[in-house]
A and B are shown apart, each in its own frame.
Chain A
Amino acid sequence: MDSGIKRISPYKVFSMILLVILALLFAFPLYWIVTGAFKTRAAINATTPDWFPQEWVLDNFKTLFSRQMAPLWELGVPFSSHFTKDGNPIIFTAGPVVPAAIRWLVNTVFMTVMAMILTCITASMAGYVLAKKRFRGKTLLFSLIVCAMALPKQVILIPLIREMSALSLYNTLWAIIFPTVGWPFGVFLMKQFSEGIPGEMLEAARIDGASELKTFTKIVVPMVKPGIGALAIFTFINCWNDYFLQLIMLSSTNKLSIALGIAKLQAENSIDYGLIMAGGTLAAVPIIVVFLVFQKYFTQGITMGAVKG
Chain B
Amino acid sequence: MAKSANVTDRSRALVIRETRSAYLFLLPSLIFFVGFVIIPMVLCVYTSFFDSTMGKDAKDVFIGFSNYAELWRDPIFIRSLKNTIIIVVVSVPTVCVFSLWVASVVYNLKGPVLSTFRCIFYLPVVTGSVAVAVVWKWMFNNYYGIFNYVGKSIGILDKNINWLGDERFALGCIILILFTTSVGQPIVLYISALGNVDTTLVEAAEVDGANKMQLFWKIKWPLIMPTTLYILVITTINSFQCFALIQLLTSGGPNHSTDTVMYYIYYSAFKLYRYGYANSMGVILAIFIAVLSAVQFKLAKEK
How far apart are the CA atoms of A159 and B39 in the complex, in Å? 9
The complex places the Cα of A27 from the Cα of B19 at a distance, in Å, of: 51
Cβ–Cβ contact B270 & A148, under 8 A = no
B21, B28, B127, B283 interface centre (most CB from chain A within 10 Å): B127
A51 nearest CB neighbor, chain B only: B146
Q: Which residue of A is nearest B35, CB measured?
A: A182
Set of chain B residues within 8 Å of A12, measured between Cβ atoms: 105
| Contacting residues of chain B (113-142) with chain A, CB-CB under 8 angstroms | 115, 117-124, 126-132, 134-139, 141
Contact A152 B289 (CB under 8 A): yes
B289–A151 touching, CB < 8 Å:
yes
Task: Please name all residues of chain B whose beta carbon is closer than 8 Å to the beta carbon of A36 when the two chains form the complex.
Answer: 135, 138
Tell whether, in the assembled complex, residue B138 and residue A303 are in contact, meaning their CB atoms are under 8 Å apart.
no
Chain B nearest CB from A51 CB (Å) reads: 9
- Least CB separation from B288: chain A residue: A152
A-B contact count (CB 8 A): 258
Chain A 1-46 interface residues, beta-carbon cutoff 8 Å to B: 1-2, 12, 15-16, 19, 22-23, 26-27, 29-30, 32-33, 36, 44-46
User: Which residues 222-271 of B have a CB within 8 angstroms of A?
Assistant: 226-227, 230, 233, 237, 240-241, 243-244, 247-248, 262, 265-266, 269-270
**Nearest-Cβ distance from residue B30 to partner chain A, whole angstroms:** 7
Contact B128 A212 (CB under 8 A): no
Instruction: Name the residue in B32, B131, B278 with the highest tally of chain A Cβ atoms < 10 Å from its Cβ.
Output: B131
Decide if A184 touches B131 in the complex (CB within 8 Å): no
Tell me which residues from 122 to 159 in chain A have a Cβ below 8 Å from any Cβ of chain B. 122-123, 125-126, 128-130, 133-138, 141, 144-145, 148, 150-159
The answer to whether A129 and B35 touch across the interface, beta carbons within 8 angstroms, is no
| Residue A295, interface by CB 8 Å | yes
The residue on B at minimum CB distance from A18 is: B105
A125 close to B29 (CB less than 8 A): yes
Size range of the chain A interface in the assembly:
35 or more
Structural contact, B262 and A154, CB atoms closer than 8 A: yes
B124:A243 contact, CB within 8 angstroms: no
Q: In the complex, what residues of A have CB within 8 A of residue B289's CB?
A: 150-152
Kindly supply a per-residue 1/0 record for chain B positions 134-160, scoring 1 wherever the CB is within 8 Å of any chain A CB and 0 otherwise: 111111010110100100000000000
Closest to A276 in B: B134
Docked Cα-Cα span, A265 to B243, in Å, equals 19
- When the two chains form the complex, which single residue of A122, A129, A158 contacts B44, counting CB atoms closer than 8 Å? A158
Contacts of B38 in A (CB 8 A): 144, 148
Residues of B contacting A44 in the complex (Cβ-Cβ under 8 angstroms): 144
Query: Bound state CA distance, A303 and B146, in angstroms?
Result: 36
A302: B residues at CB distance < 8 A: 185, 188-189
Say yes or no for B22: interface residue by CB 8 A criterion: yes
In the complex, what residues of B have CB within 8 A of residue A155's CB? 41, 44, 265, 279, 282-283, 285-286
Which of A56-64, A78-86, A282-290 is the contact stretch? A282-290
Q: Does B217 have its Cβ within 8 Å of any Cβ on chain A?
A: no
Q: Is the CB of A148 within 8 A of B241?
A: no
- Please determine whether B43 and A153 come into contact, CB atoms closer than 8 angstroms: no
Chain B residues with Cβ below 8 Å from A137 are: 19
**Cα distance A48–B153 in the bound complex, in angstroms:** 10
List 26 interface pairs A-B (beta carbons < 8 Å), by A numbering. A23-B121, A26-B121, A29-B124, A29-B136, A30-B124, A32-B135, A33-B134, A36-B135, A126-B29, A129-B26, A135-B18, A136-B19, A150-B289, A152-B237, A158-B275, A158-B278, A160-B36, A182-B36, A212-B25, A266-B134, A277-B134, A280-B131, A280-B135, A284-B127, A287-B126, A295-B115
